[in-house]
C-alpha cells in the first residue's frame, strides 16, 4: 500500500491516512480481506506517531471499513462494506454544502460544481486495478 503524506497540509495526518485508505478501497487497490500493516509497522514506515495510526485505524473500524483481529491483524472489511446510511447521507450533504458555498461565492456555477464532483469520482475509480502505486 502506498501512502503519501503531506506534512505541510492543513489536513491532519490521521485524516490524510483515513482518506488514502478509503481511496485505496474505492479504487480497488485495497480489496476486501487484504491485510494492512500493523500500527507499529505503519507508524515506523511513515515516521509518524503510533497514536496517529491508531486514531486512523479506529475511525475506519468504527465506519465499518476495516476489521481488527488478534490473529489476522488489521484487514479490509471482508463481510461487505456498509451502505449509504442516513447518518452518512447527512454528513455527506453537510460537507458538500460547505464546498458548494465556497464554490458559489467564487462564481463557480451549479453545473460546473456537479461536473467537478463527477470527474473527481470518475478519476478515482479509474485508478481501479490501475498502475502499481
Nearer to a copy of itself, 46 or 103 (CB): 103
Interface pick for a copy of itself out of 31, 50, 72, 116 (rule CB under 8 A) = 116
C-alpha–C-alpha distance, residues 106 and 103, integer Å: 5
**Minimum CB–partner distance for residue 37 and a copy of itself (Å):** 20
Residue 129 vs residues 31, 68, 97, 113: alpha-carbon distances, Å: 10, 25, 32, 27
The piece of 35-43, 49-57, 66-74, 114-122 that touches a copy of itself (CB under 8 A) is 114-122
The piece of 40-48, 49-57, 66-74, 75-83 that touches a copy of itself (CB under 8 A) is 75-83
Nearer to a copy of itself, 44 or 130 (CB): 130
Non-local (6+) Cβ contacts of 78 within 8 A are: 32, 33, 67
Q: Does position 118 bind a copy of itself by CB under 8 A?
A: yes
Return the closest-CA partner of residue 125 out of 22, 56, 37, 36. 22
Q: Does position 113 bind a copy of itself by CB under 8 A?
A: yes
DSSP string over 68-107: EETTTEEEE--S------HHHHHHHHHHHHHHHHHHHHTT
Interface pick for a copy of itself out of 25, 39, 48, 74 (rule CB under 8 A) = 25
Nearer to a copy of itself, 44 or 96 (CB): 96
Contact 74, 57 (CB under 8 A): yes
Interface pick for a copy of itself out of 83, 129, 131, 132 (rule CB under 8 A) = 83
Amino acid at each position: 500500500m502506498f501512502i503519501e503524506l503531506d506534512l505541510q497540509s492543513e489536513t491532519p495526518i490521521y485524516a490524510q491516512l483515513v482518506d488514502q485508505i478509503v481511496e485505496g478501497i474505492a479504487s480497488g487497490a485495497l480489496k476486501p480481506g487484504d491485510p494492512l500493516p500493523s500500527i507499529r509497522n505503519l507508524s515506523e514506515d511513515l515516521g509518524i506517531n503510533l497514536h496517529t495510526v491508531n486514531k486512523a485505524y479506529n475511525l475506519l473500524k468504527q465506519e465499518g471499513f476495516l476489521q481488527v483481529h488478534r490473529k489476522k491483524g488489521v484487514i479490509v472489511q471482508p463481510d461487505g462494506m456498509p451502505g449509504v446510511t442516513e447518518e452518512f447521507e447527512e454528513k455527506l450533504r453537510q460537507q458538500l454544502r460547505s464546498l458548494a458555498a465556497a464554490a458559489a461565492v467564487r462564481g463557480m456555477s451549479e453545473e460546473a460544481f456537479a461536473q467537478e464532483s463527477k470527474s473527481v469520482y470518475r478519476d478515482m475509480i479509474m485508478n481501479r486495478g490501475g498502475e502499481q502505486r
